[in-house]
Amino acid sequence: MQENVAEELSPEALAELDADHIEGNRPDDDGSVIILAFAEPASTSTELGLAAVATAVKFLQMPLREDAGVNQDSHGYIRTFFLEGLKWPADTWDHWIEKHPQQKVIKPEWCAAFGSYCVRKAYEAAGKSLPARLCGSASDLQAKFQAADRFLLREKLFFDNGPIRDDAPAVPGPGDLVVFHGHVGMLRELYADGSFITIEGNTYKSSPRKDGVYQLNRNSAQKRDDGTFKLVGFCLLASVDGQPPASQESPTPAQQSPAPTQQSPAQTQQSPAQTQQSPAQTQQSPAQTQQSPAQTQPSPAPTQPSPASPQQSPDPTQPSPAPTQQSPAQTSPESPAVKLQVPTEPEDGEVSEPPPSES
């Protein structure tokens, strides 16, 4: 039996799912927070985190927009975020306003559902269990992850003016969820000065407003209109449960197999020998022309026949050109003509997910 998730939503969560988090706190465009191109990331990437980010990037590049009404899209992706990311029953989403007539929006705000969907897909693909329950609101996410000791508060990570503290107990990484007041995003990269890049759903960057999935430059020192920090903290997911990418934790193929690399010079040394034999064979054509005087030195008399004699009665010591061309191997028995075959090197040999089914 499916759980009725909507009944478990706290009053704070219901208020968040009904409220436009951008009112009075519009997101900053990329120009407002400058991240230098040569800035060094302060976080460590993991395969698990990169997988979650990759899913988010697909919707970023699509791009996903609310093109079918408030908090709805024509392909049904936003609905899927709730059903698959949060495991909501379809009835809860489909009859949201009937179940919650006091709500001001026909469908719930979906920023947390988007982030949860990307995280869950990465964990499922890696065969890992989530450390805490994923929720549809920022306040419930914070509560669940704090109970699991997986929530890092802003003041524990950053100084008030922005930079990362020297005594920070942990550093979030790509694929972790970023919790703001009433809003959720996914961390793509974090820098030592306190700036960070997010991929967020249910947001926008410029006017005219077109809500959807966007990449934003953020800073830990940004404040709301009431003077409080926008950032609350981070749900620590892939930064704890993931492993560094294979390219960072294992040597390259060249480092893994030094023996074949040492054998290559030997094989390379054999090649010149074969290469030296090649000119000999390549020079056989003129050599055949030179063999005639060489063979005629033992018997000079026959080498100087009258001009007509080679045509009338060729000298037995002078093989005819045709046989000489047919059997170069006989004139040089040690010639490895068959070894000159150059081995042919073997030729070296993006996955869009199908639109989610609306179950």
Cβ neighbours of 353 (radius 10 Å): 10
What is the DSSP code (8-state) at residue 338?
G
Spell out, as residue ranges, where the chain has pLDDT lower than 50. Answer: 1-7, 30, 249-359
* CB count in 10 Å sphere of residue 194: 24
Domain boundaries, the chain: 5-247
* Contact call for residues 22 and 214 (beta carbons, < 8 A): no
pLDDT value of residue 307: 41
Q: Are 18 and 103 in contact (CB under 8 A)?
A: yes
pLDDT tens digits for range 205-221: 877 789 999 999 999 99
The distance of Cα 266 from the centroid of its chain, to the nearest Å, equals: 38
Task: Return the pLDDT at 33.
Answer: 67
pTM attached to this predicted model = 0.67
pLDDT of residue 228: 93
- List, in sequence order, every beta strand (DSSP E) within 181-261: 183-190, 195-203, 212-219, 231-235
57 Cβ contact list (under 8 Å, min separation 6): 199
Angle (deg, nearest 10), helices 258-282 and 284-296: 50
- Looking at residue 31, what DSSP letter applies? G
pLDDT score for 29: 57
pLDDT digits over 292-312, tens only?
Answer: 444 444 444 444 444 443 344
Site of tokens 């009338």? 312
CA distance 319 to 325: 10
Q: Are 46 and 242 in contact (CB under 8 A)?
A: yes
Give the model's pLDDT for residue 268: 41
| pLDDT at residue 18, as a whole number | 87
- How far apart CA 200 and CA 188 sit, in angstroms, is 10
SS3 of residue 325 by DSSP = helix
* Amino acid in the structure at residue 90: A
